Structure 1
């Protein structure tokens, strides 16, 4: 995502109907003809898109605005220096529509005092929120720590898949992975694919530990939702153990300082990489890749681990709430989401038709096994902390898990000690929150 200030102006298009005689026309027989609809008053609608670039917004939505809302001039604002939500609120320049995700719902929205419950607008517009994947609607309500509906889920969301380098499998005569494989099967393949050939080291497996452990198949939180401790330490041990064995394969050691090992896959020397399907993940053309379903873990549900979508909400200060909500409905329409899906952007809707169109209009994705993305339904969202408990920022929790795992994978600390130390670090972070 491009994080720079950007504005899009979608010109207001209006036509004024004037009769030839300057007066109301008549029907045949002398009855007055119906008056032409009064043009809507033009105004400027401000939309804050977070990290989504102006170019992407323009590609996805500009034509729709010109057709459906010709009287609206859209001022599109990208998160950047001087245009963060706290800065905009401090300046009194608050957008009408705000894009936020679950990790930023508080810092970029609710804690700024601009949150607005969409429930009444949903009711008056008879808007069917059941058209969305249920876990996405449930998560935004839970993250808001109330019964309020602060946003509607906007594509994309980020389901986990398993990428593989076809050229390396061909080079070493190993069969490609298939949809529906288990972690044990992927481990066996990783051992076969880890080797030194012609003086070049080839790794069978690489991952971003923070990403892989956070988006786990159990939807396991880090901090316990109801107590000030690590959630289910035994399951965390299971997750650590499952991933650690890949870095115990000779010549497949984990990087010492880099938690984002995904870059190694892009160099063409790694055979397998678990990662999210994301239009923001760029793999060089030089890598002949494809994907299969994310591996299944014994004892875990057969679901696709995922990172949820962003949401479109309104600011309570907006003077155009009714029409801004109409804009949100249009941005999340079947028509727009079908076009998104063809670009490779995963839908937030319960629609097999739109799911099935994933990547069909994209020059790269149209040649890949995109069925792997939606082969399994998305996992439930990770349960949030109770509203009356202090919390630790999600990024802080994730980094603690990632750095702890790397120490285990490097053999610097044994698993039981590491899990105990992780819990101690989480409690120390909670103490910091208490002392703020």
Structure 2
């Protein structure tokens, strides 16, 4: 009996050890979470992760949208946010020896804000180690940085996929007795409708169509860039760019539909939301833009117009990216944080509050705006009606592509020269090409 009791005791202890061992590694199997976390992370050592951004976000919004959810998910984590402000640019933080662990930005700032400062960090190994499924993110957003990196490595992960949609003022259409626009319209159809909606009525001048043309030029569905990623030379003075200019110039050639005599970045948004004298406006889908629309305004949204040769294709994705800084001493913890911020669980909540995420999950797309009072009763399907256009071919020349922001400014200024000053389109494109090449030549001499 004693031998039998001893064997029973050994067997019980063996089962207990097996049970404890099987519970030692956490893993839920949910997309975006780890199933094989390294021992140092399982121990949950107290760790601080510092965020910073070139994009404005109040500390209150950061805590609500990012900080608090992270602390709830990772109680061992200290989350710190450096708000944008004087003396807190990424260059200032680097000089002070206090760069963040995670930085977020609009993708086209990567060459200037990260790459030129030597802060880029390839997350490929961490993506493999943590089995992060990049196929859950739309390729157009995921590959947005390739034109700056030559497609070698993954230096940022998208968490917002910005694109254009067309807002419209229902009250103006009701006033004129004209049917509302609908999803899937082409530019030709929208321009015809804009002509009908541009008129004087009861002493008020109404414009049929407005646009955020700087964005439409920059993120055009044709994949055109003012600097050729392959040659590193200006590429504005081409037939392709001329056709794009001509297509958007038609908006302002409609009699009575000229935009304000201003070189401001986007006076059209204010005119649509505040003055409320614009019937339709093709604008960026940024949630902050929607928040500018006053309560009580009778508006809705449809998909952005498409070109005949680019059916079902919106503009290029303009994603907001998360990057881990090369200087971070907490890269693994930072990546675990990013894995959660890009998990289906987190992206679903973001989608519900009206953020267009770069998800490929149809259920997350369908949930867009469902918890937001701004989108109640709106045609939210318009936000995912089209697919994003793919970014242009890769380059990988950081010295040249770091000038893309300046080149985009040249493009917008030349477009304004035409519509505001009456400059000939061929002259504007030729001058723009010359200005961009001078920027390139100057950069090469440094």
Quote how far apart the aligned CAs of 1:255 are: 2.4
Report the RMSD for the aligned CA atoms in angstroms.
2.5
Q: CA contact under 8 A between 2:112 and 2:402: conserved in structure 1?
A: no
Query: Which residue in 2 is equivalent to 1:19?
Result: none
1:191-235 CA distance string (max 9 Å, x none): 111111222111111123212222222121122222313257112
Looking at structure 1, the residues matched to 307 and 193 of structure 2 have their Cα atoms a distance apart, in angstroms, of 16
1:362 aligns with 2:372: yes
SS in 2 for 1:186: helix
Q: 1:270: which partner in 2?
A: 278
Q: TM-score, normalised by structure 2?
A: 0.85
If the length of structure 1 is used for normalisation, what is the TM-score? 0.87
| Aligned match of 1:189 | 193
- Is 1:150 aligned with 2:155? yes
Question: Mapping of 1:203-282 within 5 angstroms?
Answer: 203-227=207-231, 228-231=233-236, 233-259=238-264, 260-262=266-268, 263-266=270-273, 267-281=275-289, 282=292
Match of 1:351 in 2: 361
Distance in 1 of aligned mates of 2:407 and 2:12: 77
The corresponding residue for 2:408 is: 398
Does 2:298 align with 1:299?
no
What are the residue-to-residue correspondences of 1:303-318 with 2, within 5 Å? 303-318=313-328
> 2: distance between equivalents of 1:104 and 1:300?
27
Q: Are 1:407 and 2:417 counterparts?
A: yes
SS in 2 for 1:139: coil
Pick the structure with more helix per residue: 2
Deviations 1:160-179 (A, max 9, x none): 11111110000011111111
Q: 53-62 or 244-253: which moved more?
A: 53-62
Q: Secondary structure at the match of 1:241?
A: helix
Of the three residues 74, 81, 84, the one matched with 1:76 is 81
Provide, for residues 359-387 of structure 1, a one-character-per-residue CA deviation record: whole Å limited to 9, x for no partner.
Answer: 11111213211111101111112445452
Mapped to 2, the partners of 1:289 and 1:321 lie a distance apart of 45
- Per-residue CA deviation, residues 40-67 of structure 1 (Å, 9 max, x unaligned), is 3223221223323333322223443233
The answer to whether the Cα contact below 8 Å between 1:60 and 1:336 also exists between their aligned partners in 2 is no
Which is further off, 407-416 or 271-280?
407-416
How big is the shift at 1:409? 2.0
Structure 1 residue runs of 4 or more that deviate by more than 3 Å after TM superposition: 26-39, 382-386
Aligned length: 410
Q: Following the alignment from structure 1 to structure 2, what is the Cα–Cα distance between the partners of residues 375 and 290?
A: 15
In 1, distance between residues paired with 2:364 and 2:46?
A: 34
CA deviation profile, 1:379-403 (whole Å, cap 9, x unmatched): 1124454527724633322221122
What is the aligned counterpart of 1:288 among 289, 298, 302? 298
Which structure would you say has the larger RCO, counting Cα contacts within 8 Å and 6 or more residues apart? 2
Shift of 1:39: 5.6
Aligned residue number for residue 42 of structure 1? 46
**Structure 1 unaligned runs (5+)?**
1-25
1:116 is matched with which residue?
121
Cα contact 1:102–1:143 (8 A) shared by 2: no
- Unaligned runs of 5+ residues in structure 2 are 1-8, 25-41
